[in-house]
Amino acid sequence: MRMTINEEVVEGIILKRTFYKENDVILHVYTKDFGKIGIHARGIRKLTSKNARACQEMMISEMTIHLKKGLSSLMKATPIHYLRHIKENLDSEIIGNYILEYYYRYIEENMPSLKEYNMLITSLKALDQGYPPLLVYLLFNVFILEHNGIVINVDGCVQCGSKKVISISIEDGGFLCAEHLRQHQIYSIEFLKAFRHIHKISIHHIDSLHIDENIMKELIKVMDYFIEEYTGISLHTKTFIQQIV
């Protein structure tokens, strides 16, 4: 919504706050219309600041800004959704921080994408609504792979296309049948079905996914291998995730 030549009202999710000067903060925000941008919020660390309430990490806010190249300037901020329930559950908060860190560190600035915005907001809302944090983590990692151009073959054996699969190959990028098993581990049918489901069902339909927690923890080990092997992405919050798996 354009107010003047460079004044915009934007909806966004605050990824990170960086203290600046005595009372200012640089907000790193993923906005619906402009992608990831930096916003200079003057004086919001003061007790009298009217904007401070809407400028916390991991919340959805509406912000009136002077849009500029480099750092934009905050004029007004209003909270839309606090996502407060995430911080009531330690596991949810850890996964939420993992999601924010990925967007802060690996999403390009000034490159708006409705798909990226919807993934971010839907993932955080799923955590806020009480869906299993590990399931949200798995679905978000599928997004990370796809965002980096990696699509795992879960439609059949990567070697011959057979639907009678019994294993997963990190090296080959998908399912394997008995004929092409080689030295790979054999997995249960339940595990293989769950692995396929997380790649076929988006987080927007998380209601339809019902996966046992023990299977989720095994899936995470395999997905973490894929992330490490194919993307090289390393997030600081991963240390905390390893403690809850």
Report the alpha-carbon distance of residue 156 to residue 162 in Å, rounded: 5
pLDDT in tens, 32-58: 999 999 999 999 999 889 999 999 999
Average pLDDT for 129-136: 97
pLDDT of residue 5: 60
Is pLDDT of 100 > 70?
Answer: yes
Mean pLDDT of the chain: 94
Nearest to 171 by CA among 184, 161, 162: 184
Token output for 190: 């339940």
The reported pLDDT for the residue numbered 60 is 96
- Residue 66: beta bridge partners? 7, 73
Separation between Cα atoms, residue 189 and residue 191, nearest integer Å: 5
Half-sphere exposure (Cβ direction) of 34: Cα atoms closer than 13 Å: 25
Locate all alpha helices (DSSP H) within 132-234, ordered by sequence.
133-147, 189-200, 213-230
- Confidence band for 69, pLDDT divided at 50, 70 and 90: confident
Q: What is the mean pLDDT of residues 196-207?
A: 96
Residue 224: the pLDDT is 95
Name the residue with higher pLDDT: 4 or 233: 233
- Cα–Cα dist 141/199, whole Å: 10
